[in-house]
């Protein structure tokens, strides 16, 4: 279970999605699902270690909820689909979407990526029907296949962006390697009196070489310039933009528990690729919110440090929640999963912090955890971003 769930969370993180930006991408397919099934509700949900993110639906807005309160948390464990008369299902009959919202029927399809790893679901729910026809089910599964194709497209985009960044770095490296000798050759030839040489053919040859060297030097200068195309292709942040994005994504979870949630960032003019930052820092924040009681505090601080070798993003996530036992802290370091209940009874799968540590170290960063039972937890990261 640990291995399967970790693979699922990792596959979703590798997509490096901004859930708020997916609404338009998936909106039409979600509306089509509701239309072909004749249901009042249709949603496209992505589910990470803590949260179900509704990235498109008939309610026309991105929403989020703890994954354990969602029927789709059951759907992602299925091979093909999950169907339920929720008014008769003991797991759901007392839930708000049955008692308060009046839904009686649910049908969900797991959304899968390569190697059959499930990252979310397409689901529909109805208030006035108890089943779908076979034709409606087949049409719904076709829509799910198209959603999977779009998710795979997101993954391919990430690979292309990484290849573009690698190519740019290679160009810069090559340019630096050849710039100095070409500059020296150009300077030598431009200051040497070729007319003093006795051999006319050598003079012509050297003159041509000077022109060639000058042209190549101009070319290397062009390669070294930052191109607008790269910034357009790569999703980039500065520290303040990243702080705003994290605030927008996780404030709703904090508001549900009346937690004082704040993300502070030391301003920086340097920009850096967002790759891996949202899932890594987001998991830290979600973990802190889960294990912090009502009226508690979760504080995030970030700053970017620069050296000759690298740009390092320093992140600190601090809460005054229930803290961790020495056994749980040791489990984070070894990658073992110890399930825990959150302060509102939320299910903890024991994978969030282990996932962050492994991802951080895989990127060449550092992960440091300090915690005391009933006094809170602080996690600090150092992540190379450039």
The per-residue pLDDT for range 208-238, each reduced to its tens digit, is 566 555 555 554 555 555 444 444 444 678 8
Q: Please tell me the distance from the alpha carbon of residue 306 to that of residue 77, in angstroms, as a whole number.
A: 44
Question: pLDDT at position 159, please?
Answer: 64
Per-position b or e across 190-213, b if 16+ CB within 10 A of its CB: eeeeeeeeeeeeeeeebeeebeeb
Q: What is the pTM of this model?
A: 0.69
Which pairing describes strands 260-265 and 118-126: parallel, antiparallel, or unpaired?
unpaired
Question: pLDDT at position 170, please?
Answer: 54
Question: pLDDT at position 193, please?
Answer: 62
Question: pLDDT at position 366, please?
Answer: 93
The rounded mean pLDDT for the chain is 81
Contact 335, 358 (CB under 8 A): yes
Containing H/E element for 299? strand 297-306
Contact 369, 329 (CB under 8 A): yes
The per-residue pLDDT for range 298-343, each reduced to its tens digit, is 999 999 998 777 889 999 999 999 888 888 888 787 666 555 655 5
List beta partners, residue 317: 300, 379
Question: pLDDT at position 226, please?
Answer: 47
Span 151-163, mean pLDDT? 70
Q: Please tell me the distance from the alpha carbon of residue 294 to that of residue 100, in angstroms, as a whole number.
A: 24
Contacts of 166 (CB under 8 A, 6+ apart): none
Question: pLDDT at position 123, please?
Answer: 96
Question: pLDDT at position 59, please?
Answer: 77
List beta partners, residue 315: 302, 381
Contact 262, 328 (CB under 8 A): no
Q: Is 102 left (phi over 0), alpha (psi -120 to 50) or beta?
A: left
The per-residue pLDDT for range 253-292, each reduced to its tens digit, is 899 899 999 999 999 888 887 778 888 999 899 889 999 9
Q: Is 118 helix (H, G, I), strand (E, B) or coil?
A: strand
List beta partners, residue 262: 299
Cα 303-360-44 angle, rounded to 5 deg: 95
DSSP letter at 36 equals: H
Six-digit token string for 251? 């404030």
Of the candidates 322, 278, 329, the one whose C-alpha atom is nearest the C-alpha of residue 296 is 322
Q: Is 295 left (phi over 0), alpha (psi -120 to 50) or beta?
A: left
């Amino acid at each position: 279970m640990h291995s399967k769930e970790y693979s699922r969370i990792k596959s979703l993180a590798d997509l490096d999605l901004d859930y708020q930006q997916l609404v338009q991408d998936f909106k039409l397919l979600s509306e089509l699902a509701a239309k072909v099934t004749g249901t009042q509700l249709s949603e496209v949900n992505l589910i990470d270690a803590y949260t179900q993110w509704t990235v498109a639906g008939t309610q026309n807005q991105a929403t989020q909820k703890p994954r354990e309160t969602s029927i789709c948390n059951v759907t992602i464990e299925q091979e093909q689909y999950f169907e339920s008369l929720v008014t008769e299902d003991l797991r759901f009959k007392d839930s708000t979407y049955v008692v308060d919202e009046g839904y009686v029927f649910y049908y969900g399809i797991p959304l899968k990526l390569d190697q059959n790893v499930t990252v979310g679901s397409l689901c529909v729910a109805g208030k006035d029907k108890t089943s779908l026809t076979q034709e409606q089910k087949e049409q719904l599964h076709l829509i799910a296949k198209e959603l999977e194709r779009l998710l795979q497209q997101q993954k391919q985009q990430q690979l292309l962006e990484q290849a573009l960044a690698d190519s740019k770095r290679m160009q810069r490296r090559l340019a630096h390697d050849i710039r100095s000798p070409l500059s020296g050759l150009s300077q030598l030839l431009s200051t040497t009196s070729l007319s003093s040489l006795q051999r006319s053919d050598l003079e012509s040859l050297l003159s041509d070489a000077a022109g060639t060297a000058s042209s190549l030097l101009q070319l290397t200068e062009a390669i070294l310039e930052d191109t607008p195309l790269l910034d357009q292709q790569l999703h980039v942040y500065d520290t303040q933009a990243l702080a705003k994005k994290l605030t927008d994504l996780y404030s709703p979870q904090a508001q549900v528990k009346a937690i004082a949630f704040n993300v502070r960032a030391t301003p920086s003019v340097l920009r850096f690729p967002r790759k891996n930052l949202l899932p890594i820092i987001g998991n830290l924040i979600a973990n802190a919110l889960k294990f912090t009681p009502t009226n508690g505090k979760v504080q995030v601080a970030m700053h970017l440090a620069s050296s000759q070798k690298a740009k390092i993003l320093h992140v600190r996530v601090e809460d005054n929640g229930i803290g961790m036992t020495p056994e749980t802290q040791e489990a984070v370091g070894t990658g073992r999963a110890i399930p825990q209940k959150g302060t509102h009874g939320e299910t903890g799968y024991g994978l969030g912090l282990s996932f962050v540590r492994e991802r951080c170290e895989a990127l060449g960063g550092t992960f440091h955890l300090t915690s005391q039972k009933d006094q809170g937890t602080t996690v600090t990261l150092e992540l190379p971003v450039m």
